[in-house]
Structure 1
Amino acid sequence: MTLLSGLTLLIVFVLMLILSVPISVSIVIASIVTILLLLPFDMAIFTSAQKLVTGIDSFSLLAIPFFILSGILMNNGGIAERLVNFAKVLVGRMPGALAHTNIVGNMLFGSLSGSSVAAAAAIGGVMGPLQKKEGYDPRFSAAVNISSAPTGLLIPPSGTLIIYSLVSGGTSVAALFLAGYLPGILWGIACMIVAFIVAKRNSYPVSERVTFKIAFKTFIDAIPSLMMIVVVIGGILAGIFTATEASAVAVAYSLILSLIYRTVKIKDLPRIIMESVELTSVIMLLVAGSAVMSWVMSFTGIPQAISNLIMGISSNPIIILLILNIFLLIIGTFMDITPAVLIFTPIFLPIVTSFGMDPIHFGIMMVMNLSVGNITPPVGSALFAGVSIAKLDLEDVMKPIIPFYVAIIIALLLVTYIPAISMVLPELLGY
């Protein structure tokens, strides 16, 4: 019966996606069809409705709409240009300095906005014309921008890590935030290494020397934007407020900053709030639908069956983690990161904890892995945003972005097999 249930769930789900049914609706329909094999119609519908409601009945999930609103305010608040100027100072006069500026800018802005698409659009929109003016190949510039855009999904505050915390059974959000720093930075460094090699080979220009006065002024201009990270993460670690309360603080801070910069007016707030409501409703429906699917899978014994299948292939943790990485990379190419985390965490987390892997380490590995799907076809949202901003065709970008894919996969394997990269900061600070 487990095999029949699993096949039914998979076939109906894939069929719904092929028919272009929204993924949240596809999840619910596939789950209900599957549970009808085992329960009477009235009981199946009643229980599914209960799970829809209880799936989003969580105080921790309040952080999601607030962080979304904060990110949209930041995206509308003229933050990108100040962070780009600051990134220029950080990278100095390295070969291909503007490419490195793009990468660092994406790391900074992505962490503030919590969106790879926002980073690719905002930073790419600023850096693309500058790089073209300096003689950079537009295809290379687009590849740099796209490949580094998802770093903000790891560098906190990250809404994806909050969702993982919920679905994994209450893994510490503060610990996950701390654990995301080094892997996110490692991703950025991997992209910078590739950019350095390509820039050196093509003799791309270095930036002009910046005087101490200009560098100091640029740093001062960027401090208010950078302080949001300090206030939010520092407040959580100091125990001043929880991650959920921190999300509300982030909204207040980003709103005040945007009003001070005069890049957001009071009349813009209804539009911004409506945009955040629409995005929040999409995510919450995904969370609710995934709660139904998780219950159906648990009821039918699907996770245990998958666990037995994988453990039957090998009991070696190295091989198992390699299998999970390959599977998640494939999943990430056609499924958005949020539903993927919601669906596959309950399946894979028991497998990795059975051989002693920390849930924090696995969460970072999983989110980093699925984030690659943001920049790969056929549905990579950051990929298409970056291509659109650069005014190029997808085919133009695929060849120059391949070296970045290789570097990112190497970084992923390092994070997978060297737990200290994820765990050193949480352990150092007592998490």
Structure 2
Amino acid sequence: MAEAAGDSPSHVDIDVAIVGAGIIGIAAASFLQDEGRDVLLIDRGEPAQGASFGNAGAFAFSDILPLASPRIMRKAPRWLIDPLGPLSIPPAYLPEILPWLIRFWRASWPDRVRGAMVAQAALMRLASREMAALVAAAGLDGMVRSDGSLELYEHEAELTAAMPGWDARAQEGIAFQHVRGAAMADLQPGLSPRFVAGTFVPGWKTVSDPYDFASALAARVVRRGGRIARHEVAAIRPVAGGVALDCRDGRTITARQAVIACGAWSRPLARALGDDVPLETERGYNTTLPPGAFDIRRQLIFGGHGFVITPLSSGIRVGGAVELGGLTRAPNFARSEAMLRKAADFLPGLKTDGGRQWMGFRPSLPDSLPVIGASRASADIVYAFGHGHLGLTQSAATGRLVADLLAGRAPALDISPFSPQRF
């Protein structure tokens, strides 16, 4: 059960405190409970109300290509010209984000892209196995759809440009099929004739609704004895015998160990511990249309336009794109509207009335890899943040690795590519 801030004692001794009750923190709590650990999830809001609430709902295990790449660098200037396009940076934010952009450019060098892809592929293999086990243990099989995804191309040249990425996926054992004509129409009837080809990925999965899925896992954590407290943690510091978490309301929580998994809000906590991680915020937008707005058979990916369309139990979600704009700027819902207009062009007959708009913060690192590892200040403080677009996808793998690290055993895979000190 949740503890309201006003109900909590001023001093709480617990086993593991997890700062952040999004899907990453919830998954970490689940894996720690498997090992008999007592967990307290701490968040300034309700569980799964951040990026876990309105994401695209995919288990994107085949998405191993880093965002920083020569291909993206070639596209970026054209995208940036359009303030409502797939990639946008508000001009006033440019001076602040410039150091991150320089790191992003360096991460696009071919040798670094290859290293990031290999690390991402290893994490995805672990994610697929651990998520399957978590879903089965939690009895949530009915919330997972195994319909695959369909990425769509408006020109043969667009498919040709994407082929190196598909070749790289093939080398990692990822199955896919390029389709045209009737085969493409069977996978998604009603597409605009502007699309000449597609790529079907059968191993791609989606959840019925990402908020419902995360909430169900959080409820399971509570049923197994875990607690959820509403606090805003201002600082974490090592103390004799464990860790102290100082809250903005003046209270202090002490724990044997702690996990920092508060997504886009993780950077100040890590910096105070001596780890200045270059975490930036991708502001993602979407519109969720009512159920029945269109007969969407599976997640549709419009890579050239930077957004996806996902069938959910709560409706049809049209969203994506990247706005690098920090945590404090007001939402620009014109971006949601621009994607919805494109969706109506791409799916003639799509009913665009009655939609709910949303904007969320994706925590993103320049090399597209998350931070998973111990703090410089103490091995009893573990970081688990920076998953970008892949938090839901990689949550179970991250939970397994967090449990490994806090137990002091060798992690399930080489985590050096995800080190908080790699920068």
Provide TM-score, normalisation by structure 1: 0.25
Q: Which has the larger radius of gyration?
A: 1
More strand by share: 2
More helix by share: 1
Provide TM-score, normalisation by structure 2: 0.26
